[in-house]
Chains A and B, each alone.
Chain A
Amino acid sequence: MTESLDTEPTSTIRLTVNGTLHVLEVPDRKLLSDVLRQDLELTGTHVGCEHGVCGACTVQLDGEPVRSCLMFAGSAQGHEVTTVEGIGDDPEHPADVQQAFIDCHGLQCGFCTPGFITTIDAYIDENPHPSEEEAREAVSGNLCRCTGYQNIVSAVQRAAELRAEGASQ
């Protein structure tokens, strides 16, 4: 491969992640997932397949789940990026979806978990009372190799309960 650094096109990009604006010089071809992990050290966003299939790299763009492995970092300019750290970054005070995963034992190795958290966090706003079937459908775009999914499905419904309680307080 002749990928000399002299010829590598780069750009200065302005990226808003978890409410903070970052100004970065990155190669044009650098994916959002790589910029989050390598440049911003937000390693909660995991990279599995890099084909859009596994869901581990899911972040929110203006509140909607998207695959950060299928987006160039430059394309995220002008949008708000939220990673799992932006949803909850304090082990003492987990966010509602994170608490639901703890309550339901929704994880084992945890590799897939950030993608589930970002996906479910957006989903329960759209559907505050998911049935079991809807909960299963909601996470069908995320792969987990450990849990067998039952506890993750329970966690979707538990997260919805916790959010409703949070809203009524």
Chain B
Amino acid sequence: MKPPPLRIHRPTTLEDTLDLLSEHSAAGKVLAGGQSLVPVLNMRLAAPSDLIDITAVSGLDELLVTGDDGQTEIIVGARATHRRVERSAEIAAANPLLGEALRFVAHPAVRNRGTTVGSIAHADPNGEMPMILALTGGRVDVRSTRGERSLEADELNVGPLETCLEADELITRAVFPGLPAGARAGFDELARRSGDYGLAGVGMIVDVDDDTVTGLRCGFISVTDVPEILNLDALVSGTGLNDAPEAADAVVDAVRNFIDPGGDIHASADYRRHLTGVLASRLFRRLCRGENPRKRAGGTRRPATDTKRGRA
């Protein structure tokens, strides 16, 4: 048996869950889909004495879109798997960013168990969903026996793999705002193999009024410590949609200055910086053209080679 000895509790009500979390506090841990926690336990990088399995807790499986056109919110309960979120047509209509990014999260067999909220709680800077929460301006609702609070993404994320959650706190749901009218959004990344964490990834929301760009926000994976959002409203405002190729160069410069990649055996910091710029340029131009994402190419997800522009 690979994991260290531990006791697993399977509460069915939120009240019991919060009591258990309060009782076991620092020695206990929430078990959601287990797709990040169980590998950690199998490698014995952590040894909690008690796991509180939330997969049978009633009330945590909500998945819905609320509000009116232009002012919608996507509510993702703590038990909702990546796969359910990805498959929801209603969510795709309210904000395509979630589904677009989720297709890059691991493989279907992992997404069938892993939860979007668990991913946000895990706060991996290589993970897609913590960044998507920040980019969309979302929040999480948190409960404990001591009360409840709501946290914006930038309050929640304090460092790589680190949130401001106390040991007895449970995220009950994540709330992602829908895409505002006129805005276009997309996500792209490059990984060494299908399903791996990306070497770099970029998410973007472009505001468009008629034929003119009026705003741009970018979020990144694997090249910043926490999901910080780069606001380039001033840089791109007033750019005509047809002039996107020229404006893209300035976007690339701003992006490369903003990020802070590290190097490892898979890719050097310089390569990641370069790659992030390439992804940002392609994504910005694609969104300005109003095209849908290319279908994920079989296995490799390699973006089509760009021959037109030498730069990016």
A: residues with CB less than 8 A from B are 3, 7-9, 11, 27-31, 34, 50-52, 55, 58, 61, 64-67, 69-72, 74-75, 77-78, 119, 132-137, 140-141
Chain A residue nearest to B34 in the complex (CB): A70
Task: Encode contact with A along B106-126: 1 for CB under 8 Å, 0 otherwise.
Answer: 111110110000000000000
Q: Contact between A9 and B6 (Cβ–Cβ < 8 Å)?
A: yes
Q: Which residues of A contact B34 (CB under 8 A)?
A: 70-72, 75
CB distance from A121 to the nearest CB of B (A): 12
Q: Contact between A136 and B299 (Cβ–Cβ < 8 Å)?
A: yes
Residue in B35, B42, B109, B298 whose beta carbon sits within 8 Å of that of A133 in the complex: B298
Task: Encode contact with A along B1-41: 1 for CB under 8 Å, 0 otherwise.
Answer: 11111111010000000000000000000010011001101
A137, B300: Cα distance in complex, Å: 9
The contact sample of 12 A-B pairs, CB cut-off 8 A, is A9-B8, A29-B4, A29-B6, A29-B8, A52-B38, A52-B110, A67-B109, A67-B110, A71-B113, A75-B31, A75-B34, A132-B298
CB distance from B41 to the nearest CB of A (A): 8
Q: Contact between A31 and B108 (Cβ–Cβ < 8 Å)?
A: no
Q: Contact between B297 and A74 (Cβ–Cβ < 8 Å)?
A: no
Q: Answer yes or no: B194 CB below 8 A from chain A CBs.
A: yes
Q: Contact between A58 and B109 (Cβ–Cβ < 8 Å)?
A: yes
Q: Which residues of B contact A65 (CB under 8 A)?
A: 108-109, 112
Q: Which residues of A contact B10 (CB under 8 A)?
A: 74-75, 77
A52, B43: Cα distance in complex, Å: 12
Q: Which residues of A contact B5 (CB under 8 A)?
A: 3, 7-9, 27-29
Q: Contact between A137 and B112 (Cβ–Cβ < 8 Å)?
A: no
CB distance from A137 to the nearest CB of B (A): 5
Task: Encode contact with A along B29-69: 1 for CB under 8 Å, 0 otherwise.
Answer: 00100110011011100000001010110000000000000
* Beyond A50-B2, A70-B38, 7 additional pairs, beta carbon < 8 A: A31-B38, A50-B42, A55-B109, A72-B8, A78-B56, A134-B298, A140-B107
CB distance from B20 to the nearest CB of A (A): 14
Q: Contact between B107 and A141 (Cβ–Cβ < 8 Å)?
A: yes
Given A30-B1, A65-B109, A70-B39, check contact A140 B8 (CB 8 Å). Answer: no
Chain B residue nearest to A29 in the complex (CB): B3
B70-114 contacts to A, CB under 8 A, are 83, 106-110, 112-113
Chain B residue nearest to A133 in the complex (CB): B298
A55, B107: Cα distance in complex, Å: 10
Residue in A31, A52, A75 whose beta carbon sits within 8 Å of that of B1 in the complex: A31
CB distance from B310 to the nearest CB of A (A): 29
